[in-house]
Amino acid sequence: MLALEDIRYSKNSNDIVKGVSMKFERGGVFGIIGNNGVGKSTIGYIIMGLSEYKPTSGRIILSGEDITNLDVTNRAKKGISLLWQEPARFEGLSIKDYLTLNKKIDIKSVEEALDMVNLEPKLYLNRLVDKKLSGGERKKVELASCMLLKPKYIVLDEPDSGIDIMSLDMIVKIIHYFQDNNTGVILITHRKEIAKECEYSYLLCNGKIFLEGKSDKIIKYYEKTCDSCGHINYAEEK
Amino acid sequence: MDVVKGYEKEFNQLVETYEKNTHDKSLLNPSIANIIVSGNKVVGLNNTPGFRISSKTRGDGFVIIDVNIEDNTKMLMPVHLCTGFLEKKGEQLLKFNYNIGENVKVKFKSHCILTNVEKLHHYMTSDMYIGKNSHVEYEDEHFHDEKGGVFVETLTYAKLDENSYFKTKFYETKTRVGRINVLLDLDLGNYAKADLESKIYGQKDDIIDIKEIMRLNGKHSSGIAKSTVFATDATKAHVINEAYGNAAYAKGHIECNEIVKGHDMSVSTVPVLKVQNEKAELTHEASVGRIKQDQIEILMSKGLAEDEATALIVNGLLS
Ligand SMILES: Nc1ncnc2c1ncn2[C@@H]1O[C@H](COP(=O)(O)OP(=O)(O)OP(=O)(O)O)[C@@H](O)[C@H]1O
Ligand SMILES: [Mg+2]
């Protein structure tokens, strides 16, 4: 199990995450939903352990071990990874070198992963992971990369953003692929077609969990209320 | 291939070092034009139809090399300019005069093999004229001694006639720099186009100076000058990019990225843009600083250590 225990995070004296506790299991699909700016990506970064996102208080527990103070590399080695909402670009680095991580992963698996994200390996292996890739292509390359890592837990931060509607089925397929490989999927999304894959979801509002439970209930509530809310301090007033 | 009598040993030694460093075995192919200079002596050269290279050593020690290419010559294989220095100490002084005719297509591959010297001043100045509609590429790759005793100065002045194209790549990324001073000064005529790229990896107490100047004197002339420096340890790097828009529809872009690692280095960049025609357009981009944190961390999130992530990013930047 991967658990967040009462995580708080402030930046420049702004409280961005205000006491969040979540639990994830391997092989399950968990949703984090909520409007723009409620703190979804921040929670993803805190799980991954990015240097700018050390929690102000609270603990992160992986299979009974406190990993709150582990850096990104060591969390990755323990099986946690992240699909960035806006993955970085690299000048001069080929998709092949990026996905094989400089020959650490075999090329055959890389080709299979590219096929799964609907990128023809022949056309893409020698292209660069630079600014010339479109937003959707970059995101697909990153999805392939995350699959190749075979993580125990993966945070997918809006895997559908920048990707055409036609590819939604592909993303659903990849979520199932993770599940089949006993990866716990932590899915950040706005899109109903994707959110329906979650069994359990957390609805965030203003840095807090406003509601959690079975996904269909949470999604219904989100659509009915949050879509038209625009009231970012709802959680505090409640 | 003419190998100068008495210098067979030096010739072979340079060819061998070249092949070892580049894994390129084409240097002795008879259909490839080339010149091989050891110290202040030309030890071998090969001409091909339309392409003539000749040399003499001047009283002051300069090796003067004249390169003439006839109009309409299309060189299918790159011309190799191979300069090396096999003694421990000294000075190597070279002056190239290029006269490139109209409608020529040529690519030069220049290699400086200075891997076994203790203290050397390698000074090379080139004057190049590129005729109308010609397409010229010039790739310069350097291999220096690891102890840092090499001081390379390479000064290139090129005049690009109408609708010609000049592309340069200057790479010193595989071995120690020592001290390097690169100057490229281009005068572009109507519709001429230039694409300049330099990539340098500084370590220990290397000193790097780059100056690239594009004088966009012809209407519709255009150019891009891009420098990338990776400065580690106590490297000092200074990059100056200048672009002058002196004619209508001239278009220039200069870009300098200096990536630093460590505490003792010092890097700087100065862009100069000057427009003297209201229809000219110049832009610049510059960045000086560490590798971006999100680039490092995305690779760390795949299990790479910070150093491995840095190496992968830098390899890409300098490739
Ligand atoms: N470095 C920072 N300094 C100050 N505030 C920040 C910083 N980074 C993020 N924030 C703020 O924290 C809040 C949460 O941001 P976050 O990116 O986690 O939102 P999100 O839920 O992922 O939104 P979106 O749906 O737009 O991706 C936002 O209000 C944002 O403006
Ligand atoms: Mg976000």
Backbone angles phi, psi at B296, to 5 degrees: -65, -45
A182-208 pLDDT, tens digit each: 999 999 988 878 888 999 999 999 999
Closest listed residue to residue B68, CA positions, set B83, B50, B82? B50
Q: Which of A47, A54, A73 to mutate to test the interface with B (most CBs of B within 10 A)?
A: A73
pLDDT over 60 (residue B257): yes
Q: How confident is the model at residue A238 (pLDDT cuts 50, 70, 90)?
A: very low
Ligand 1 atom 6, closest CA: A11
Measure CB to CB from residue A145 to each of B300, B302, B305 and give the nearest one.
Answer: B302
Residue A36 CA, ligand 1 centroid: distance in Å: 8
CB B294 to CB A84 under 8 A? yes
Global pTM value:
0.83
User: Is the Cβ–Cβ distance between A22 and A209 less than 8 Å?
Assistant: yes
| Domain coordinates in residue numbering, chain A | 24-53+79-226
* Residue numbers of B between 274 and 303 with CB closer than 8 Å to A: 292-295, 297-303
Whole-angstrom Cα distance, residue B152 to residue A78?
Answer: 48
Question: Is there an atom of ligand 1 within 6 Å of A42 CB?
Answer: yes
B4/B45 Cα distance (integer angstroms): 8
A86: three-class secondary structure by DSSP: coil
Of residues B224, B136, B221, B153, the one with CA closest to residue B187: B221
Nearest to A81 among B302, B305, B306 (CB): B302
Range scoring the smallest mean pLDDT among A166-175, B123-132, B241-250 = A166-175
**Range 50-109 of A in CB contact (< 8 A) with B:** 50-52, 71-73, 75-77, 80-82, 84, 87-88, 90-93, 97, 101-102
Q: Which residue has the higher pLDDT, A227 or A49?
A: A49
Give the mean model confidence (pLDDT) for residues B295-300.
97
pLDDT (0 to 100) of residue A237: 43
Q: What is the CA radius of gyration of chain A?
A: 18
Residues ≥6 apart with Cβ < 8 Å to B261: B230, B231, B232, B290, B291, B310
> B145-204 pLDDT, tens per residue?
899 999 999 999 999 999 999 999 999 998 899 999 999 999 999 999 999 999 999 999
- Select the more confidently predicted residue: B130 or A164: B130
- A57-62 and A2-11: which strand pairing? antiparallel
> B14-46: per-residue pLDDT in tens?
888 888 888 888 888 888 999 999 999 899 999
Token pair recorded at residue B251? 């278009």
Average of per-residue pLDDT across B280-296: 94
**What count of residues does chain B have?**
319
DSSP letter at B115? T
Three-state DSSP state, A73: helix
**Backbone phi, psi, residue B306, to 5°:** -55, -40
Selection from B212, B96, B201, B189 nearest residue B141 by Cα: B201
- CB neighbours (10 Å) of residue A188? 25
Does the CB atom of residue A40 touch ligand 1 within 6 A?
Answer: yes
- B316:A101 CB<8 A: no
3-class secondary structure, B72: coil
The answer to whether the CB of A201 is under 6 A from ligand 1 is: no
Please report the pLDDT score of residue A212 as a whole number.
Answer: 95
Share of chain B above pLDDT 90, in %: 77
The verdict on the CB of residue A36 being under 6 Å from ligand 1 is yes
Residue A43 has pLDDT above 80, yes or no: yes
The chain-wide mean pLDDT, for chain B, equals 94
Give percent of chain B with pLDDT exceeding 70: 100
**Is residue A14 in contact with ligand 1, taking CB distance under 6 Å?**
yes
CA-to-CA separations, B148 to A53, A119, B134, B139, B206, in angstroms, rounded? 41, 46, 38, 22, 7
For residue B26, the model assigns a pLDDT of 82
Nearest CB among B292, B302, B316 relative to A101 is that of: B302
pLDDT band at A163 (very low <50, low <70, confident <90, very high): confident
Of the candidates B233, B227, B236, B241, the residue with the CA atom closest to the CA atom of residue B180: B236
Pairing relationship of beta strands A65-66 and A57-62 according to DSSP bridges: antiparallel
User: What pLDDT score was predicted for residue B25?
Assistant: 84
Tell me how far apart the alpha carbons of residues B100 and A4 are, in angstroms, rounded to a whole number.
69
- Here the tokens at position A66 are 């406190």
pLDDT over 70 at A129, yes or no: yes
pLDDT score of A231 more than 70? no
Contact A48 B301 (CB under 8 A): yes
Tokens of B180: 């390097």
- Token digits of residue B272: 């100069």
Residue A159 Cβ contacting ligand 1 at under 6 Å: no
The per-residue pLDDT for B220 is 98
Strands laid side by side in the A2-11 sheet: A14-24, A2-11, A57-62, A65-66
Ligand 1 atom closest to Cα of residue A42: 18
Complete edge-to-edge strand list for the sheet that includes strand B150-160: B51-57, B63-69, B89-100, B119-130, B150-160, B179-188, B207-216, B236-245, B266-275
Angle between helix axes A135-148 and A107-116 (nearest 10 degrees) is 130
Task: Name the residue among A92, A35, A79, A33 with its Cα closest to residue A229.
Answer: A35
Asked whether residue A234 carries a pLDDT value surpassing 70, the answer given is no
| DSSP one-letter string for B120-148 | EEEEEEEEEEE-TT-EEEEEEEEEE-TTS
- What is the position in ligand 1's atom list of the atom closest to the CA of A45? 18
Which residue of chain A is at minimal alpha-carbon distance from B295?
A88
Pairing of strands A200-205, A208-214: antiparallel
Q: Nearest to residue B202, comparing CAs of B119, B113, B250, B262?
A: B262
The span from the CA of A144 to the CA of A148, in Å, is 6
Per-residue pLDDT tens digits for B65-92: 999 999 999 999 999 999 999 899 999 9
Residue B95 has pLDDT above 70, yes or no: yes
Other CB atoms closer than 10 Å to residue B147's CB: what's the count? 12
- Cα-flanking dihedrals φ and ψ of residue A14, to 5°? -95, 125
Residue A204, CA distances (Å) to A3, A13, A100, A228 in order? 16, 20, 36, 15
Q: Choose the residue to mutate in A14, A43, A45, A155 for probing ligand 1, maximizing ligand atoms within 8 Å of C-beta.
A: A14
Q: What is the mean pLDDT of chain A?
A: 92
Instruction: Judge whether residue B48 has pLDDT over 60.
Output: yes
Question: What is the number of the ligand 1 atom nearest to the C-alpha of A188?
Answer: 22
CA-nearest of B296, B78, B114 to A71 is: B296
Please tell me if residue B315 touches chain A, with a CB cutoff of 8 Å.
yes
Split at pLDDT 50, 70, 90, the class of A228 is low
Q: What's the pLDDT score for residue A235? A: 46
Which residue in B246, B250, B209, B254 sits closest to B231, CA to CA? B209
Please give the ipTM for the structure prediction: 0.94
CA distance A222 to A201: 11
CATH architecture of A24-53+79-226: 3-Layer(aba) Sandwich (3.40)
